[in-house]
Structure 1
Amino acid sequence: MSLKPRKVDFVATWEAIKETIKGVISLKHVPRSVWNDRFSDVYALCVAHPEPMADRLYQETKRYLIDHVTLLLQKVQNDGEENLIKNYHHYWSHYSVGSQYLHSLYLYLNQQHIRTHKMSDAEIIYGSSDSSGGEQMEIGELALEIWQSRMILPIGQKLVDLLLEAIDADRAQKTLPVSIEAIRGTILSFVEVQGYKKKAPLQLYQELFEELFLTASGEHFKQDASRLLQERDVSLYMEKVKLKLEEEMFRARRFLHSSSLPKVAHTCEAHMVEEHLEFIYSECMNMVQAERKKDLSNMYDLLKSVQDAIQVPVETVLEHIKTQGLNAIGNLQGENIHINFVENLLNVHSRYKLLIQEVFKSDQNFMGALDKACSYVINHRPNGGKSPCRSPELLAKYCDTLLKKSSKGVSEFEVEEKLSQSIIIFKYIDDKDVFQKFYSRMLAKRLIHQQTQSMDAEETMINRLKQACGYEFTSKLHRMFTDMSVSADLNNKFQVYLKEDNIDLGINFSIYVLQAGAWPLGQAVVTPFAVPQQLEKSVQMFEAFYHNRFNGRKLTWLHHLCQAELRLGYLKKSYVVTVQTFQMAILLLFENTNTLTCKEIRDTLQLNVEHFQRHAISLVESKLLVADTEELTEATVLCLNMDYSNKRTKFRITAAVQKESPQEVEQTLNSVEEDRKMYLQAAIVRIMKARKVLKHNALIQEVYAQSKTSFAPSVQLIKKCIESLIDKQYIERTAHSSEEYSYVA
């Protein structure tokens, strides 16, 4: 074939092209040689000399397609309404494929003649219409446009009516008047016929079919809902509606364009769920209280897509978890109250977390309700908010129980697991500073009295707390660990010091040197105590060694926290007993005598009544000493029990000291209150220094935001701290407003 422009006989060439078009558009066999010749003919007409004949070819092709579709319309209608869908689908199936082949045959005309004159995609999308008046369409598009105007426009409404009847028959499970393929193909033809459009390609489908379909479906859903409501059973209603929704979505996928799926779901939900929310909510409380998982799951599936409908079940679940949580910790008594408290709360949390995962697919609304409920229960203040919240103290005691050596029958893995779980409770606690106070006190006792189960477990727990609250929260706890390792090194150096000077203390002596700022021992009153003669040399030598190394540091001996091992050699069997310092001092007085009065012991040791009573009674109760009266008075005679026996040759007498007294608990809470005031005052000064001038409400909000990681301060407490700082002249009220403060530089 020659590419050179030449004279062409249009009539003869068009006749040849027209014969080929007949075969192509009807999907009849067209030999490859004929196809190639017609392809060349289209090219020849487009580049004909002296004048190209592209426009004339276009007009003739358009006229032919109009005539062809008009003829097809008669054929579609010939067999009556009952065969309208079937015939339409048959001819559309051929015509739509044939138009694509025709588009390929006219490739040169499309690319070189029509596209060069077409508007750009941007002009089409953002312009006022798809095409300007008189603009030519590519041949494939032209074929589809003619089908729409000459076939769909005349019979479209009738087609849609028949399609809706067919879908209703499918809903009623009746035999369809026509095949599923014909119904789906006819519906999708409304989309495909405008598939070439850049702007609003679904317009015909939506206006001609979808709107009518959704309206008809809405009426159907209303009737179905009315019928189901007559049974007055919410569980059954939800099951049937859920089934109905699944059926409709399956039907929509089978018949409709994918863009209609969410609209079908929304229509069904609007008429079968949204319009009957009160009916569904009527059983919500009972379902939640009885924890009917299947019903709740159905309710969730139906309500999740309806705007704000999920809030009622969320609130109901929130109140239910609150009730269950308060019931779980409401009547706890006895020595194991802290264990029951924490483990009961963890059970409630894990139970409802699992329920939310199973039933509500871990929906964030319900997870938020779980968090709110747990926070409410854990920070609950009994007696109408008058009593303090005990959660921080009880959680600290729970951790203490697990980390102590006394936790019998619990494996190391179980301890790790329980400590890890305890962080769940910790994260909900508002007053984290109270927990920190109790935890640090208990950690101090475990470290000082060598009662910790595992130093690794202790460090792991502190790291967990640091991850939850930051380094500042655990800095003092880390320093306590540092002091223990530094003290071990100091003891080694002290032993070297004694060897170098050939000093024999006569006893094994080791100490802990603790930083006053890191250890929660500052509130402890240093009790009067005359150090036993056996210890005097050791104390003096260590003081000399320490002051020689650290000039200017002050040592304060906390005898009430010390302990000793004594060997009892006066009995039939030898025993090693671990005792507190004051117990040791009392026993040492019996080295040269078997009997002493309480007054003699007190005068010798210079102990106050409280300490003497507590430690003397513990020795009498352990049966190492025998008293001649039930109550210890100054005249009571104590004597060694020469008949003492014990199955164990090594034992400890520390119970009297280890228990946390109510006074210590109150003291801890008081120290927290003082710390809070100092923290808030520092925060206020810090904020005011940065802002210079700030209004009252803004200052309170900023202070609260900075404090909430450790505790939730009351507005009243923040106001008191502001007044205190005004008195101290750190800040002042501005001249023009009593509700505004300025920083005093």
Structure 2
Amino acid sequence: MQHTGDHDQRSGKRKSIGKRKLPDQETSQPPSQRTLSELLSKNKHAYESLPSSSSPVSKRSRLSVSPSRRSPAPAVSPNKMYNFSGSPPKNGNAFVRALPGQSTVSVKGQPLNLNNSRQPNFGPNVSAKKLVVKNLRTAPRGNNEPYFDRIWQQLDKALTEIFDGQKPSSSLEELYKGAENICRQGRATLLAKNIQDRCKEYVSDKVRNNLVTRAGGGNDVDTLRTVNEAWSSWYSRLILIRWVFYYLDQSFLLHSKDLPMIHEMGLAQFRSYVFADTILKPKILQGACDLISVDRGAETKVIQDTGLLRSSIDLFHNLDVYNSDFEPLFIASSKTFVSRWAAAESEKPLASYVENSDRLIDREVTRCGLYTLNRSTKQKLSELLDEILLAEHEDLLLRENEVIGLMRAENNIALKKLYGLLSRRNLGIKLKSAFGNFIKEEGSSIVFDEQHEADMVNRLLRFKKQLDNTLSDAFDGDTDLGNTLRDAFGVFMNLGKKSESTGGTDNPKTGEMIAKYVDRLLKGGLKVVTPGQADAPLDDSFSEMRRQLDQVLDLFRFVQGKAVFEAFYKNDLARRLLMNRSASDEAEKEMLVLLKKECGSSFTHNLESMFNDMDVARDEMSAYNSMQKQLDRSKRSPMDLNVSVLSAASWPSYPDVPVQVPPNILGVLRNFETFYNSKHTGRKLTWKHQLAHCQLRARFPKGDKELVVSSFQAIVLLLFNDVAEGDSLAYSDIQEQTGLSDPELKRTLQSLACAKYRVLAKNPKGKEVDPTDQFTYNPNFTDPKMRIKINQIQLKETKEENKSTHERVAADRNYETQAAIVRIMKSRKTIKHSELIVEVIEATRNRGTLQPADIKVSIEKLIERDYMERSEGKTYKYVA
């Protein structure tokens, strides 16, 4: 649309009236220069009415007025014609009012006002009217070529100044307006091509030639630095160029399919004419790789420059050559570097290789983030490190002797890094072999160490704690390795070999030692195994006792055959109950609850019966003491008596040890028998004097003492009441009067004359008792304590008792094995040897894993006793 109008000198604004040709108008009449009032007066019959409009009007719309060529229409009153408010016009004046943002035309002799923005008074039911004046023709368009040439010369000069690093002489606003006007004239394509040609000329000639010249006199890093400087300079110029031609960039190039935007054009030209140059490109890429090599610690003449490396990576990203050119070269150089590094490090110990490999991977990954390398580069580099450091050196990482050495040294830091490296390729599970073998090797050395047998459980607890720490800290609680730990513990904990300590049987030693450990714990005389600290005295609190019981039960769960533990625990419990040596009744009952949870009620049935017997015995003694109080003083017992009546079925079997009880004590015992038989008929009491203990009042010149001794010790000491001062008793005399066997008498005399408390004197002196020795009362005995316990001999298990317990357990196991074989044969009738072995092992698993050789011995015994017979093809047949 072409605009015509006059210039207002005061405001500098241009008021314009547009001409527009309608389809049904004639085109021969020239444009009218008359006033709008004359046009409206002359052609008022051409308008019958004005349509109302409520649609919005474009910002570029103008009020168009042109003479009408249509045939006259019926006359309409002006007052009615220009009534927009729905009410009669006042004073005969009519107004034409545009929508908001348009000019207003006053008709019928009133002055023309196009800037009045006063809103019309609309009626409640009448919309605004719009006046449309037609038939204004458009003037022919003039020649804009001179204007383009003049503006381009101005823009070209500005480009030259920008390329030279100077500030344009013309203002940016003037340059921007000129470029905008050219675009509005439809010359945007030509303008864009001219800009592209000028930039190409500058980049391809001046910039590239300068860089090529400077590249010939420096190394690759120097070339990279000059290219980075040139890129930075070009990028700043490109931004200024885009500012000048921003209208072209956003209104034309943004939607163009053939021409790139200014920013993209600048990047493409620098990439095509500078980076892709056959001389510059290899130097640029190699320079970046050299900087990375220096950052990796390579010894070269190149000085480390992190800023240059970071800007170089940004350059590759901006030019969009990172993935196509830089990344392949970087990965190739990284492969060469890592291969050489791994070859040199593989000669060092495993701990050093693992630690350095972990540090290398961390540095490489950190570098990717520090210098904004792509995620694809980080992934490829990670895969490269895994391939070279792990896959190619897997044998080194899994070298069993070195892995076991790290475990033995408790080097959890190195083990954690080793596991972390292997886990990068899901190879952590391959540590199972070394981990399991280490546990079996170390555990077996603890179990079969006879010199430190008494400390076995403490060492096993510390070993278990060490493995738990290794599993959680170094191996991140790996489930497979945790299963390996339990399986390996279950193997060595159930190993056994024939030795003197096991009575010539192959019973596992762990069950016996765990039972003795619990015995010392429940007596309150054990030291606590505190993780990470030295042994500390045991806390008397029940919570600490419970913690220790839970700790030892962790070992007990690995014991497959509980028969050995049961036998020894039963013996020790009997001693604690009879000697009143338990530190806490609550702890004893708590241990029973724990064992019941682990092994079932059948396992603890006899143990619970032992506690019931002690309760019944207390009731019996209460009744006996009440009866004694009702007697006359002359008929009362001269000494206090406490008897525990036990059922033989629940308690351990104790052999009868012959001994001659002094008459005064024997009379008291018979009184109790009479009382007990009066209450219970059909029962017989068997006295177990070897389990009894006594309290004696002894008089010494240096002070009276109260001695707590065993029954055998008391019987021996009472003999010296009838010996004159200074006289002695020979060993043979003591044996004759007490009736004790040599082993029992020697142990008793040794505890009285050769131990810590020497209430008797032996002649000749020595630690061993011989049949030729003489014994006398020791008048020089002294001790700061008033009450002295010397009955420790009863609390210790003899070698004979230990041997007999193992033999009894082995015999019971043989009987159970034979019973299992008979049950299987009775149900199967005929079975092969291999199948019988498997079924017997499975049937007796809860009592411990049997060896095939032991099962074969039981089979031979059953064949001899005609329970089964051999058949063809290694088959057995049941004999009914």
> If the TM-score is normalised by the length of the shorter chain, which range does it land in?
0.5 to 0.7
Shift of 1:370: 3.1
Q: Tell me the amino acid that sits aligned with residue 480 of structure 2.
A: N
Please give the root-mean-square deviation of Cα atoms over the aligned residues, in Å: 4.9
Partner deviation per Cα, 1:557-607 (whole Å, 9 max, x = no partner):
111111111223575643221121122223334444435554444334333
CA distance in 1, matches of 2:849, 2:405: 35
SS of the residue 1:437 aligns to: helix
Shift of 1:354: 1.0
1:428-577 alignment, distance < 5 Å: 428-499=558-629, 504-520=636-652, 522=653, 524-569=654-699, 573-577=703-707
CA distance in 2, matches of 1:278, 1:339: 40
CA distance in 2, matches of 1:351, 1:319: 15
Aligned to 1:366: 481
Please tell me whether Structure 1 or Structure 2 has the larger radius of gyration of its CA atoms. 2
SS of the residue 1:554 aligns to: coil
CA distance in 2, matches of 1:669, 1:720: 18
> Match for 1:724 among 861, 864, 869?
861
Assess, with a 3 A threshold, how the Cα gap between structure 1 residues 569 and 387 changes in structure 2: closer, same or farther.
Answer: closer
Contact 2:704-2:786 within 8 A present in 1 as well: yes
Q: Is 1:411 aligned to residue 539 of structure 2?
A: yes
Aligned to 1:614: 747
Contact 1:568-1:575 within 8 A present in 2 as well: yes
Aligned to 1:277: 394
Shift of 1:363: 0.7
Aligned to 1:390: 509
Assess, with a 3 A threshold, how the Cα gap between structure 1 residues 407 and 358 changes in structure 2: closer, same or farther.
Answer: closer
Contact 2:432-2:481 within 8 A present in 1 as well: yes
Contact 2:519-2:569 within 8 A present in 1 as well: yes
Q: Tell me the amino acid that sits aligned with residue 316 of structure 1.
A: A
Assess, with a 3 A threshold, how the Cα gap between structure 1 residues 228 and 330 changes in structure 2: closer, same or farther.
Answer: same
Shift of 1:266: 7.5
Q: Tell me the amino acid that sits aligned with residue 700 of structure 1.
A: I
Assess, with a 3 A threshold, how the Cα gap between structure 1 residues 675 and 380 changes in structure 2: closer, same or farther.
Answer: closer
Shift of 1:696: 3.1
Shift of 1:478: 2.5
Partner deviation per Cα, 1:679-730 (whole Å, 9 max, x = no partner):
223333444455555443333223222333332221122222233344445x
Partner deviation per Cα, 1:271-315 (whole Å, 9 max, x = no partner):
7643542354467566556655444333323323535x3354332
Unaligned stretches of 5+ in structure 1? 1-71, 88-164, 188-208
Contact 2:410-2:466 within 8 A present in 1 as well: no
SS of the residue 1:709 aligns to: helix
Aligned to 1:581: 711
Aligned to 1:605: 738
Shift of 1:455: 2.0
Aligned to 2:436: 318
Shift of 1:555: 2.2
Contact 2:761-2:776 within 8 A present in 1 as well: yes
Q: Is 1:240 aligned to residue 360 of structure 2?
A: yes
Partner deviation per Cα, 1:205-228 (whole Å, 9 max, x = no partner):
xxxx9xxxx999998986675465
1:159-308 alignment, distance < 5 Å: 174-175=312-313, 226=339, 228-233=341-346, 234-235=353-354, 236-241=356-361, 269=386, 273-278=390-395, 280-281=397-398, 292-304=411-423, 306=425
Assess, with a 3 A threshold, how the Cα gap between structure 1 residues 583 and 327 changes in structure 2: closer, same or farther.
Answer: closer
Shift of 1:440: 2.1
Contact 1:626-1:640 within 8 A present in 2 as well: yes
SS of the residue 1:576 aligns to: strand
Partner deviation per Cα, 1:318-374 (whole Å, 9 max, x = no partner):
3444555566677674xxx45533222322221232122112101123223433454
SS of the residue 1:647 aligns to: coil
Assess, with a 3 A threshold, how the Cα gap between structure 1 residues 305 and 603 changes in structure 2: closer, same or farther.
Answer: same
Q: Which has the higher helix share?
A: 1
Assess, with a 3 A threshold, how the Cα gap between structure 1 residues 675 and 667 changes in structure 2: closer, same or farther.
Answer: same
Contact 2:398-2:430 within 8 A present in 1 as well: yes
Q: Is 1:624 aligned to residue 759 of structure 2?
A: yes
Contact 1:487-1:513 within 8 A present in 2 as well: yes
Shift of 1:471: 3.1
Q: Is 1:650 aligned to residue 819 of structure 2?
A: no
Assess, with a 3 A threshold, how the Cα gap between structure 1 residues 249 and 572 changes in structure 2: closer, same or farther.
Answer: closer
CA distance in 1, matches of 2:373, 2:836: 58
Worse-superposed segment, 532-541 or 288-297: 288-297
Unaligned stretches of 5+ in structure 2? 1-252, 269-284, 293-308, 347-352, 528-536
Q: Tell me the amino acid that sits aligned with residue 582 of structure 1.
A: F
Aligned to 2:160: none
SS of the residue 2:789 aligns to: strand
Assess, with a 3 A threshold, how the Cα gap between structure 1 residues 562 and 575 changes in structure 2: closer, same or farther.
Answer: same
Shift of 1:394: 3.1
Total equivalences in the alignment:
559
CA distance in 1, matches of 2:856, 2:804: 24
1:11-90 alignment, distance < 5 Å: 79=260
Contact 2:869-2:876 within 8 A present in 1 as well: yes
Q: Is 1:739 aligned to residue 879 of structure 2?
A: no
Q: Tell me the amino acid that sits aligned with residue 608 of structure 2.
A: H
Shift of 1:377: 5.0
CA distance in 1, matches of 2:816, 2:378: 58
Contact 1:564-1:581 within 8 A present in 2 as well: yes
Shift of 1:670: 0.9
Shift of 1:379: 4.7
Contact 2:407-2:415 within 8 A present in 1 as well: yes
Assess, with a 3 A threshold, how the Cα gap between structure 1 residues 693 and 342 changes in structure 2: closer, same or farther.
Answer: same
CA distance in 2, matches of 1:253, 1:548: 100
Aligned to 2:113: none
Worse-superposed segment, 385-394 or 527-536: 385-394
Contact 1:252-1:261 within 8 A present in 2 as well: no
Q: Is 1:712 aligned to residue 849 of structure 2?
A: yes
Assess, with a 3 A threshold, how the Cα gap between structure 1 residues 378 and 285 changes in structure 2: closer, same or farther.
Answer: closer
Q: Tell me the amino acid that sits aligned with residue 541 of structure 1.
A: N
What is the TM-score with the length of structure 1 in the denominator?
A: 0.62
Assess, with a 3 A threshold, how the Cα gap between structure 1 residues 530 and 289 changes in structure 2: closer, same or farther.
Answer: closer
Contact 1:568-1:577 within 8 A present in 2 as well: yes
